[in-house]
Structure 1
């Protein structure tokens, strides 16, 4: 029954896409350029957008895929992959206009860009020196990876149909309004909150949403019965390195041009990541008496999260301090808060993105200075305590919106379909029980051709029980 409804929905959805693209394209090219597009700025934003997408897939997919058990690798990677597909379509149809359309009362964008109407090759909003197309797609890449981060909190147990629907609804009613409030001229922007590249909009919002989803859906059945360790640290490290690389597009791309500020952001990003990695290494070494690769790489990611809201507003020494503190803050959040309350945030999405994001947003209120960016503000350490208050309001807003919104979305979806898989499916692993596609072929399994995999002439898990193949003649 669900399959039939899904098919009907997809057909209607596809028709809407084609109509909106046709009419949107017609109106986009009708507009005359307001200011001159700069080729250097445009080239950098094209590269930065591609880097952020690469950061998402394969970066985040590999990062999460290496951390889960070998029974849920494909499933976990599919969550990242399908969120990119779903969010891109939603963004084009209505997400972008809700986030960046003409401000309505400080709370939401208007329908100026519905179906990408009015989005074209001219300079974005008549003020930026990059085409509107690339600005919109750069923001699309941000929206997509924000949704994917949430999957880390519920890996190994959420129903795949529920995840697809959740991705579409969440980016519409949670991400788009928050992006508008901070970056689209909404009430937080009017208040004066600073978020250079997504501390509140991306990391706090996704982190607290992941925590809420983990609590609503419930823990894994084996959560407290056995310890969980990464199944493939090499895969994880490749993913972590890809994320680190992608963060240069994420942060430096948010300067929306190729200039001196871009260079500062690039430097701050690298320095905070290095400080975060060392911070985690030394804390873990002193407490557990041994440093780990997973921990050190996680610390670097925490440092990157911490610098994200501040990257274009603080000096290099401040970036070092922010990254250095972000790692131990996340470490204690994961190892003590999580242990105390026993919630099952599978891959510590809240511990890394939520907690380090909160620190980074508040640190912006401490270290920001107009000496590095006249478009910013001075923080507490430069004589302006008001900014710290505005940052705290932004943090609280992201926490409340992410928590309440995610709770309501999941409860609503739960009225129409199961939110999580059955115990049997979870214990078997979602790679086999749902996708019928193991990440690693057993040594005694017959190799499958691409045609065999697509047509599924026989259940894939049945091949796992076959006798070893005979000698090749």
Structure 2
């Protein structure tokens, strides 16, 4: 009797090798998804923690870094307690899922399912089956958690150097619950925009447009930094800022490469396009600085890098390489123009103190990327990823191509409108409980007053803060709050 042919599947991939390897598990996909999640997590901690702590004035380094660190930790707990199922669970409303915990092993060890993602055609037949990646729910919960976390960390960039840290501690869970989960379910979890065919490959709308609009809105309600800080706000460590920016750039491989939920060819396309667009955008922004300001700005280069990464995100695995270059040229020039030209001429933009320009680098770039995705999404690449198999960008013709641009516009307007309203309500409610803005004494001193800690212990600004006294001591001046509430220098 002839021996049976050898099993063509490597032993490591064979089902039944242990109880921890169920038949549906693909170890390659699971391994890549966990790596991608870790890369995205590193973008926040330590990436944006380092970037924020370095790009601000020295007296705000600790506070800025801590806002990012706190947000990351708070989101993790809120996400597994109720946020994940609100974003990817069963439908409660067309734009919102039913909340619930994602903590028990019975749920977390199951084969991943995104229950509301089955796409039906016009005649009621299944066009695309429910999304079911070949790894456990625990992997999906963690992967989506780091996306939720970095969204709020990005939002924090608009509020640095003046938001009351206790108000921020309240803001994080409220905004995650009432804003982020709505965008995530609507566009990713099987909500109405998902099934209508709005494209957001990896978060141009869910993450960047929402954080940019919400950050700008919250900055309006919190109010501006102190006049002294607005007039002069130099980074305290440009080299460390570049280290944080580098972590952000390299981490984007997980950000865009992980969203096919598989280590497949579309993931490879997304990672390459991401780097093409980011590099192009950085170069364009830098040359615009040279042309108009006669000097290349390192901070400007970082901003150009970020706008390129943001712009490619909604279409990373759906556009061709030449389109990624075009998107990089536009992401390096359009946000540059809104930040350097329009911002200086707009009374509204001047009035709202968006500390790191998150409105320009994320809201403008995110909306731009979403619209360009509607133009350049390639039909074959769309079929690899999207639930609506007839999806295509405007340059590829047909009625679907023209409709896609309209869908992208409507999806962007929904995210903008929702975040304007919800963020406003959240800020007003918090302000009823605790002031959104730091007291003037803390604004004057910074980290030592807010946390009792300083970023650089070997030297300082000379200010000292004694919470038991009503005055602030400085090496050169004695400052007392006057009876009218204004500050007098004696």
Taking structure 2 as the reference length, the TM-score comes to 0.82
**Aligned residue in 2 for 1:149:** 154
Residue of structure 2 aligned with 1:378, choices 392, 395, 398: 392
**Aligned residue in 2 for 1:369:** 378
1:297-308 aligned within 5 A? 297-308=302-313
> Are the structure 2 counterparts of residues 320 and 229 from structure 1 closer, same or farther at C-alpha, using a change threshold of 3 Å?
same
| Deviation string, structure 1 residues 250-273 (Cα, Å, up to 9, x no partner) | 010112111111110110011011
CA–CA separation in structure 1 for the residues paired with 2:38 and 2:169: 23
CA–CA separation in structure 2 for the residues paired with 1:348 and 1:404: 20
- Name the count of aligned residue pairs: 421
CA–CA separation in structure 2 for the residues paired with 1:444 and 1:407: 37
Instruction: Give the conservation status (yes or no) of the 8 Å contact 1:366–1:380.
Output: yes
**Aligned residue in 2 for 1:408:** 425
Pairwise CA distance, 1:228: 2.5
Pairwise CA distance, 1:231: 2.0
Instruction: Give the conservation status (yes or no) of the 8 Å contact 2:282–2:302.
Output: yes
Which range moves more in the overlay, 161-170 or 331-340?
Answer: 331-340
> Are the structure 2 counterparts of residues 444 and 310 from structure 1 closer, same or farther at C-alpha, using a change threshold of 3 Å?
closer
Pairwise CA distance, 1:355: 0.7
Instruction: Give the conservation status (yes or no) of the 8 Å contact 1:200–1:358.
Output: yes
- Segments of 5+ residues of structure 2 without an aligned counterpart are 1-19, 114-130, 462-467, 476-490
Pairwise CA distance, 1:156: 0.6
**Aligned residue in 1 for 2:67:** 79
| Deviation string, structure 1 residues 426-463 (Cα, Å, up to 9, x no partner) | 1111x111111100013599xxxxxxxxxxxx99xx99
**Aligned residue in 2 for 1:37:** 25
Which range moves more in the overlay, 175-184 or 322-331?
Answer: 322-331
1:337-348 aligned within 5 A? 337-339=342-344, 340-341=346-347, 342=350, 343-348=352-357
Instruction: Give the conservation status (yes or no) of the 8 Å contact 1:60–1:243.
Output: yes
**Aligned residue in 1 for 2:361:** 352
| Deviation string, structure 1 residues 117-167 (Cα, Å, up to 9, x no partner) | 753223201821121111111000000010111111110100111101100
CA–CA separation in structure 1 for the residues paired with 2:80 and 2:102: 8
Pairwise CA distance, 1:110: 2.1
Instruction: Give the conservation status (yes or no) of the 8 Å contact 2:81–2:100.
Output: no
1:410-425 aligned within 5 A? 410-425=427-442
**Aligned residue in 2 for 1:323:** 328
Residue of structure 2 aligned with 1:107, choices 95, 108, 113: 95
Instruction: Give the conservation status (yes or no) of the 8 Å contact 2:83–2:99.
Output: no
CA–CA separation in structure 2 for the residues paired with 1:269 and 1:258: 16
- Segments of 5+ residues of structure 1 without an aligned counterpart are 1-31, 446-457, 466-473
Instruction: Give the conservation status (yes or no) of the 8 Å contact 1:444–1:464.
Output: no
**Aligned residue in 2 for 1:439:** 455
- Two-structure CA RMSD over aligned residues (Å): 2.4
Instruction: Give the conservation status (yes or no) of the 8 Å contact 1:93–1:115.
Output: yes
1:450-469 aligned within 5 A? none
Residue of structure 1 aligned with 2:262, choices 252, 257, 261: 257
The structure where helix makes up a greater share of residues is 1
Pairwise CA distance, 1:413: 0.3
Residue of structure 2 aligned with 1:395, choices 412, 431, 440: 412
CA–CA separation in structure 1 for the residues paired with 2:297 and 2:31: 39
CA–CA separation in structure 1 for the residues paired with 2:460 and 2:138: 50
> Are the structure 2 counterparts of residues 206 and 418 from structure 1 closer, same or farther at C-alpha, using a change threshold of 3 Å?
same
Please say which structure displays the higher CA radius of gyration. Answer: 2
